Structure 1
Amino acid sequence: MKHRHLLAIPALLAALGVQAQDRTADPLGPLAQCINRSEFQFRQQDRLPAQVTTRSVKLATGEGRVSVADGYRLMLFHKGSLPFVNLKIERSADGRFAADRETIVAQMQQMSANSKPPQLVPLETDTRQGVEVLALNNPYITQSSGVISLYTLLHAASGTVATAYLLNQPADKREFATDAQYQALRDQFLAALVTCMANPAPPAVSLNTSPTPKRTTT
């Protein structure tokens, strides 16, 4: 009986390995292409390795795990020569989105709690077009050497999670010079991302169905 169990374990692991590497479908491809049709386009697109099925996050209670059935990392540029957003889009494993959401919310709450004066960063929440938006925004670009804002967007209907790191840049190369200019560019990006997460399909092509006018002869 013991030998039978030992033989079953390699077979089970092999089956799991085949399942992890199955990439015949590309559920996040339409979302990536939708984002690329906006004013924020990627010059680098990396798909998550098939064998990666979870990622770790830091919580107040220790390490948490978030499921990852598929994912992409997109380095997004606007008009400048430096990236403006490091974006990760992921699909939760079947039946895991609710638990993943709880873990991610706890992570964002902990990050907010860890902020200290004079740079307290409250957790901002919103819902747009069926997409839940969680945000941590540093108040001043001059006090943010790397990441200015961190956004997590959650779309329950598709089980999709987007994590956006909005990046600061050297003052002589960035597209924004003031906090207000940064916020306007940030909001423009968020509007595009929310719209794509809510409906990543390309716009329908309008067909001219009006009858062809008859030719007249003289």
Structure 2
Amino acid sequence: MKHRHLLAIPALLAVLGAHAQERTTDPLAPLAQCINRSAFQFKTQDRLPASATTRIVKMNAGERRVSTADGYRLMLFRKSSLPFVNLKIERSADGQFAADRETIVAQMQQMSASSKPPHQVPLETDARQGVEVLGLNNASIAQAQGIISLYSLLHAASGTVATAYLLNQPADPRDFATDAQYQALRDQFLASLVSCMADPAQ
């Protein structure tokens, strides 16, 4: 049976509206523009409606909420006509980042714990340039249908959360054909995202 644990995350795929309501500021615009200057670029960007101030996170013990003062959904492409990353960037509400982080970390831990041998998915953690990185990776692209890896990145200094779904590309043309090629692209993307979250103005 193919591993599907990383696919069973509909709660994270919050619906982002295609039409933004009027706002006086756009705090995530520099981050989105920085990402678009990397090797991974978006063709469209959907902004979270101003009325959507939270998103639901489903946990074993019940639903929890993460604040979303603002947000974008970016479908990122490299050279292929197929998307490589479904990326959400969100800004926590004032004073809510610590609570949002606690919920996101707990969810990532729960998803890792729910994976079973022989396809266990350990939670990988790292910190770079002031950005906390939490990752769940299928062992091989052959085991993944749809989502190969899921990453949550947290930048406390700006109150920014990024959720990245790295996508398999089952048909030609594709950006990678082997695990090694995928991992190289994954690491390149993460390095770019971390760098932009740490300093969007670069």
Among all aligned residue pairs of Structure 1 and Structure 2, give the percentage whose two residues are the same amino acid: 81
Could you report, residue by residue, the CA deviation over 1:133-152 in whole angstroms, capped at 9, with x for unpaired residues? 00000001011011000000
Could you report, residue by residue, the CA deviation over 1:56-88 in whole angstroms, capped at 9, with x for unpaired residues? 112121111000000000000001110000000
Partner of 1:188: 188
**Equivalent-residue separation in structure 1 for 2:36 and 2:71 (angstroms):** 16
Contact 1:171 1:177 in 2 (8 A): no
Residue 180 of structure 1 deviates from its aligned partner by: 0.7
Q: Does 1:56 align with 2:42?
A: no
Q: Which runs of 4+ in 1 moved over 2 A?
A: none
**Equivalent-residue separation in structure 2 for 1:22 and 1:38 (angstroms):** 28
**What secondary structure does 1:30 align onto?**
helix
**Equivalent-residue separation in structure 1 for 2:22 and 2:185 (angstroms):** 38
Partner of 2:24: 24
Could you report, residue by residue, the CA deviation over 1:3-55 in whole angstroms, capped at 9, with x for unpaired residues? xxxxxxxxxxxxxxxxxx66110000000000000000000100001100000
TM-score by length of 1: 0.82
Residue 162 of structure 1 deviates from its aligned partner by: 0.2
- Correspondence list, 1:136-215, <5 A: 136-202=136-202
Partner of 1:131: 131
**Equivalent-residue separation in structure 2 for 1:49 and 1:172 (angstroms):** 35
Could you report, residue by residue, the CA deviation over 1:96-124 in whole angstroms, capped at 9, with x for unpaired residues? 00000000000000100111111100000
Partner of 1:45: 45
Could you report, residue by residue, the CA deviation over 1:178-210 in whole angstroms, capped at 9, with x for unpaired residues? 1011000000000000000000014xxxxxxxx
Contact 1:121 1:136 in 2 (8 A): yes
**Equivalent-residue separation in structure 2 for 1:175 and 1:50 (angstroms):** 35
Partner letter of residue 70 of structure 2? D
Question: Which segments of 5 or more consecutive residues in structure 1 lack a partner in the other structure?
Answer: 1-20, 203-218
**What secondary structure does 1:158 align onto?**
coil
Partner of 1:100: 100
**Equivalent-residue separation in structure 2 for 1:171 and 1:123 (angstroms):** 29
Contact 1:101 1:154 in 2 (8 A): yes
Contact 1:59 1:107 in 2 (8 A): yes
Partner letter of residue 174 of structure 1? R
Aligned residues: 182
TM-score by length of 2: 0.88
Partner of 2:34: 34
Question: Which segments of 5 or more consecutive residues in structure 2 lack a partner in the other structure?
Answer: 1-20
- 1:95 and 1:22, CA in 2 relative to 1: closer, same or farther beyond 3 A? farther
Give the RMSD, CA atoms, in angstroms.
Answer: 1.0
**Equivalent-residue separation in structure 1 for 2:70 and 2:163 (angstroms):** 14
**Equivalent-residue separation in structure 2 for 1:170 and 1:146 (angstroms):** 9
**Equivalent-residue separation in structure 1 for 2:155 and 2:175 (angstroms):** 30
